[in-house]
Amino acid sequence: MAIQIKALTLGPFATNAYLVADSESGKALLIDPVDDAPALLNAADQAGWTIRLMIATHAHLDHVLASAAIKEALGIPFLIHRECAPLLKEIPLQGAYFGLGALPDPAEPDRLLSSESEIIELDGIVLRSLYTPGHAPGHLSFFLESEKILFSGDTLFAGSIGRTDLPGGDHALLMRSILTQLMPLADDVRVLPGHMGATTIGRERRTNPFLLGYRADSR
């Protein structure tokens, strides 16, 4: 078994979507159906993969805009945390907030995930959900333990953290999420975030100015 990952950076917010595939079966799951369904579907086709499942880290518009189009094209389930359901219904308001005009409705979720750690499995791909609210209600990160890879969404970035000035944001809660859910992971865990480039847990533990400043303030 071999796991392969393809990252695509798409849309006006340069949001990262991740295709995670079991190369033996050719089945793939999509983490964050961002706002370019044709690009995501074409990337899977070019790799010879069939997307069988899509999950979202949270319900901000740039992470879910392609969900309905992909669900219509492929008939696959869409998973998201239960606390994200109200925010999904506010995509038109989110679009107005950012001056984007009319936006397509996202897909209706087929399964609402809980705040407890859950296992999401597709052939040889086994993800464990980590409840990491703060940037947005119901935010989840996903840990691919077999590959030592964390899909952090908009919780943790290289040298930064998720913004908390949008509705539902909570800086103290975000910091608790990072410190209790992500920092216990090993230093060599690779972090694939919702924006910008990859990093590692160890690098962020040592150098992230937001984490270092928060710890200093907490003494």
Check residues 101 and 66 and name the one with the higher pLDDT. Answer: 66
Among 102-106, 182-186, 209-213, which is the least confidently predicted range? 102-106
Burial class (CB in 10 A: 0-12, 13-18, 19+), 209: exposed
pLDDT number for residue 155: 98
- Mean model confidence pLDDT for the chain: 94
Query: Where does the pLDDT of residue 100 fall: very low under 50, low under 70, confident under 90, or very high at 90 and above?
Result: confident
pLDDT, tens digit (0-9, with 9 covering 90-100), for 34-79: 989 999 999 999 999 999 999 999 999 999 999 999 999 999 999 9
- Average of pLDDT values for 4-23? 96
pLDDT, tens digit (0-9, with 9 covering 90-100), for 132-158: 999 999 999 999 999 999 999 999 999
CB atoms within 10 A of CB 190: 17
pLDDT number for residue 219: 52
pLDDT number for residue 217: 63
Which CATH number does the domain housing residue 186 bear? Answer: 3.60.15.10
User: pTM of the entire structure?
Assistant: 0.94
Residue 105 has pLDDT above 60, yes or no: yes
Structure tokens at 2: 């071999």
Residue 59: name the closest of 168, 192, 195 by CA: 168
- What range does the domain containing 75 cover? 3-218
C-alpha angle 196/69/5, rounded to 5°? 40
C-alpha angle 178/184/185, rounded to 5°? 100
pLDDT number for residue 99: 73
The single residue listed with the structure tokens 């399964």 is 111
In sequence order, the 6+-apart residues with CB closer than 8 A to the CB of 166 are 60, 135, 136
Cα–Cα dist 99/96, whole Å: 5
Residue 15: name the closest of 157, 166, 177 by CA: 157
- The count of structural domains within the chain is 1
- Cα of 91 vs its chain's centroid, Å: 17
Residue 167 has pLDDT above 90, yes or no: no
Cα–Cα dist 148/144, whole Å: 6
Provide, rounded to the nearest whole percent, the portion of the chain with pLDDT above 90: 84
Q: Is 21 within 8 Å of 118 (Cβ atoms)?
A: no
- Average of pLDDT values for 4-25? 96
